[in-house]
Chain A
Amino acid sequence: MWNRMRKILNEMRKAMPYRNPVLQMTDIIWHKLKINTYPSDYYRFAFYKKGKSWEEKRRYIGRLGSCFWPYESISLKDMILLTNKYIHKHMLMGMRLPTPELLATVGNHYEVKSCDELKRRCGEWRFDIVIKPVSSTGGRNVLVLGWHDGRFLGRKGDVWSAERIWEHIKPHLEVGCLVERRVFNVGHTREIYPHTLNTFRLTTIRTDDGKWHIPDFYMRFGSGEGQVDNIHAGGIQVFLDEGGTTTKAYADRCSRPVTHHPDTGQLLAGFQAEGYDESVALALRASKKFAVFGTIGWDIAFTADGPMIIEGNTLWFAEHQDVIGPLVTEEMARGLKTWSAFSRFPRYHIFPGLQKKSRWPWSRTRWWA
């Protein structure tokens, strides 16, 4: 509670040069009533500043509700197809969409159930591997191991024996882990930061006329000690123009503009991203195959074998709209449902606050969890 309070006060103080607290309150209520903007998004997108029209403001997508809220097209019963990486991976393979090779599945309900079995399988892999939990977000607990001189090495050059890998996997045995062959970027994308797989985030949204749009597209590069390129793990966001040329870059969850990669010193803006067109085409093809979803945030890496889908995400969120502007274009707005402050969201679809914990103990059973 205290932290939340402090956060809100901080936001209000930031907005003080533009509006006094009483006017901010009035403005927040007015935004909620008029364009269904949640108070936190009011501050996140700096709606207290003058200069944005109502028409422009209503096209921002908020996590907890907004005038256009594309997530509502996702049925809760289908979410598992993206949130469970084991199911997701096999769907991709079944649909013949390019994705890194799956080497094994480890866990109580999967093919490799013991340390001995893992040891035997590790002996067969003479290349770099990636181990990731079946259910996780933000690149948490992902282990990337390189194959050097007959053994697996971690990022810092530390040796990973099968026993050590097993110890890493052990807490996730019930959920399970996937072992994939590691794929690599090519060209300048690899030069910018070679230690992680740097991906395109391509968000697709389907409008009422059945047309797919890609309103959000950017690249992510790992940084520091990270093994993944996720923004929450310290990744750098590099925005692109329509033709796939990088325009601007931000670190620290879009709060700090950068021009060069902090570790390699490579220039981040002004180069043509390799495989952009192919990746866009793949995102559209995959979205059509996963037609049960009305919106998906695709993570696609461009490799020597072409674009590859790393994963799709249901609850993607574009916090960076404060720097790139609203995601919903005028054309898209015509084909999306509008929500007001009093609209009732269908509870069998994704609804705002879905992932928030209920205050009422008797309603805490969440069958999708």
Chain B
Amino acid sequence: MAKPMVPRFRKWLKLVKKASPYKNFYSQIIDIILTKIRLNISPSEYYFYAFYKGGLTWKQRSEYIGLDGSLYWPYELNRLKFNVTLTNKYVQKNLLMGFGLPTPRLITTVGHDFQIKTLEELQRFLSGCQQDIVVKPISSMGGQNVLILSRKGRIFSVGDEEYTAEKIWHKITPQLKKGFLVEEKVSNNKQLTAFYPRSLNCFRVVTIKLPGEDWRFLVWGLKLGRGQSMVDNIGAGGIYVLLDKTGRTIRGYAKGYEQSFDRHPDTGASLVGVRLEESEAVKELGLEASRKFGFLGTIGWDIGLTERGPVIIEGNNLWGPMDQKVNGGHIKEELTRGLKRHTLWSRWDRTRMFPHFYRKMKAFRE
């Protein structure tokens, strides 16, 4: 559904006002048009990356990836026909298991076409289940509708709230057609638990493969939950901690990278200069998994680090490049050689991912 006109207009005015100390309104318009023509970057991303501030050369700006399009758009390395291997978590889970990659154990599936189809079957399953579990929709993003259930004696609970089988069923009923996975709950190792204990804090490892080359590591970070949240997703209020190449934390960011943190606001754990254990193993797992998914071209892996070692939580084909706001553009010189240059008038290959394909291709949202 189209967004209401008035709030959108108000949002734009707010952005223009925020940029006005750096450029007047007319200069902003000219700069936006030039950025679109030269770099194919959309107005919303012009404001998000604060290009109005100046200080960046055109070459530096060209290194930025915009979800709505940019001069280099690495997502087009992923062909649309392979999308389902990551967007459908049931398919992805089975592939991860088939590839022999470490991932939390799939216990059962719930939904019209899956193992558990009725409330009675769910009740029976829960009464026999003696461990903490995670119930997640087969098709969702941003950690939406994920239930993390802890077994406390005879009952399951989310935080301090009791969850009966009926309550769980009521929660998942609207999405039963698409289905849910029930997985074992895994916990962070001691170091990551100390940052924030309520969620599974994952590494985000982004990998890319240029045509004719092997997979390479692009960028990474650490996602932390925050403010009672049970998930670490940034969209759910989480903190994104930038990491340097050696796996040392640089700083934490939240709320569209407008807020920055030296310490975790809930636990007080330092987010600057901490050397993360086993980070190299996490990176290696990201590369190993990418090689198995060799039919794709770029993947953003969410990898949890447990006492048993790193485990893959999920892979994403349309990973968010928002950390560029503080990290700088991701498309460095060596990547530009293998990626297609897109101008405003370039024709996108419709067999591959293209900007707004989720919006345009209703079929994929069915």
Chain A residues in the interface with B (C-beta under 8 A) = 75-81, 84, 86-87, 89-95, 108-111, 210, 288, 291-292, 347-348, 365-369
A-B contact pairs, 5 of them (CB 8 A): A87-B295, A91-B95, A291-B114, A348-B363, A368-B80
CB-nearest residue of chain A to B114: A291
- B98: contacting residue among A77, A80, A93, A366, CB under 8 A: A93
For the complex with contacts A81-B84, A292-B90, A367-B350, 4 further pairs of A-B residues with Cβ separation under 8 Å are A80-B81, A87-B295, A210-B113, A348-B362
Residues of B with C-beta under 8 A to A367: 79-81, 350-351
Bound-state Cα–Cα, A281 to B364, Å = 33
CB-nearest residue of chain B to A365: B350
Is B366 in contact with A93, judged by CB distance below 8 angstroms? no
Task: Give the interface centre of B82, B94, B295 by most chain A CB atoms within 10 Å.
Answer: B94
- Whether a CB of chain A sits under 8 angstroms from the CB of B204 is no
Main secondary structure of the interface of B (DSSP, over half): helix
Residues of B with C-beta under 8 A to A75: 363, 366
- Whether a CB of chain A sits under 8 angstroms from the CB of B202 is no
Is B95 in contact with A90, judged by CB distance below 8 angstroms? yes
B203-232 CB contact bits vs A (8 Å, 1 = yes)? 000000000100000000000000000000
- A94: contacting residue among B80, B84, B96, B363, CB under 8 A: B96
- Whether a CB of chain A sits under 8 angstroms from the CB of B88 is yes
Q: A80-B85, A291-B113, A367-B350 given as contacts; is B294 within 8 A of A87 (CB)? A: no
Residues of A with C-beta under 8 A to B364: 77
Is A369 in contact with B113, judged by CB distance below 8 angstroms? no
- Whether a CB of chain A sits under 8 angstroms from the CB of B83 is yes
Residues of B with C-beta under 8 A to A89: 98
Nearest chain A CB to B163's CB is how many angstroms away? 26
Q: A90-B95, A90-B99 given as contacts; is B351 within 8 A of A366 (CB)? A: yes
Residues of B with C-beta under 8 A to A111: 291
Interface footprint category on B:
20 to 34
Is A76 in contact with B95, judged by CB distance below 8 angstroms? no
- Whether a CB of chain A sits under 8 angstroms from the CB of B194 is no
CB-nearest residue of chain A to B79: A367
Bound-state Cα–Cα, A75 to B84, Å = 11
CB-nearest residue of chain B to A294: B113
CB-based closest 6 A-B pairs: A348-B363, A94-B98, A90-B98, A94-B94, A291-B113, A109-B294
Bound-state Cα–Cα, A365 to B295, Å = 19
- Whether a CB of chain A sits under 8 angstroms from the CB of B23 is no
- A80: contacting residue among B82, B114, B212, B351, CB under 8 A: B82
Q: A86-B295, A87-B295, A94-B94 given as contacts; is B113 within 8 A of A292 (CB)? A: yes
Bound-state Cα–Cα, A366 to B81, Å = 10
Q: A87-B295, A109-B295, A210-B113 given as contacts; is B95 within 8 A of A347 (CB)? A: no
Residues of A with C-beta under 8 A to B113: 210, 288, 291-292
Bound-state Cα–Cα, A86 to B112, Å = 28
Bound-state Cα–Cα, A348 to B103, Å = 31
Bound-state Cα–Cα, A95 to B97, Å = 8
Is A110 in contact with B294, judged by CB distance below 8 angstroms? yes
- Whether a CB of chain A sits under 8 angstroms from the CB of B89 is no
Is A348 in contact with B98, judged by CB distance below 8 angstroms? no
Is A95 in contact with B94, judged by CB distance below 8 angstroms? yes
Bound-state Cα–Cα, A348 to B361, Å = 9
- Whether a CB of chain A sits under 8 angstroms from the CB of B93 is yes
Residues of A with C-beta under 8 A to B98: 89-95
Bound-state Cα–Cα, A297 to B35, Å = 52
- Whether a CB of chain A sits under 8 angstroms from the CB of B274 is no
Residues of A with C-beta under 8 A to B81: 77, 79-80, 367-369
Nearest chain B CB to A206's CB is how many angstroms away? 8
Residues of A with C-beta under 8 A to B366: 75, 348
Residues of A with C-beta under 8 A to B158: none
- Whether a CB of chain A sits under 8 angstroms from the CB of B269 is no
Nearest chain B CB to A121's CB is how many angstroms away? 16
Bound-state Cα–Cα, A111 to B99, Å = 12
Nearest chain A CB to B181's CB is how many angstroms away? 12
B280-300 CB contact bits vs A (8 Å, 1 = yes)? 000000000001101100000
Q: A91-B98, A94-B95 given as contacts; is B363 within 8 A of A347 (CB)? A: yes
- Whether a CB of chain A sits under 8 angstroms from the CB of B107 is no
CB-nearest residue of chain A to B349: A365
Is B295 in contact with A210, judged by CB distance below 8 angstroms? no
Q: A76-B363, A110-B294, A367-B350 given as contacts; is B93 within 8 A of A94 (CB)? A: yes
Bound-state Cα–Cα, A147 to B70, Å = 54
CB-nearest residue of chain A to B117: A210
Residues of B with C-beta under 8 A to A347: 363
Bound-state Cα–Cα, A271 to B337, Å = 64
Residues of B with C-beta under 8 A to A109: 294-295
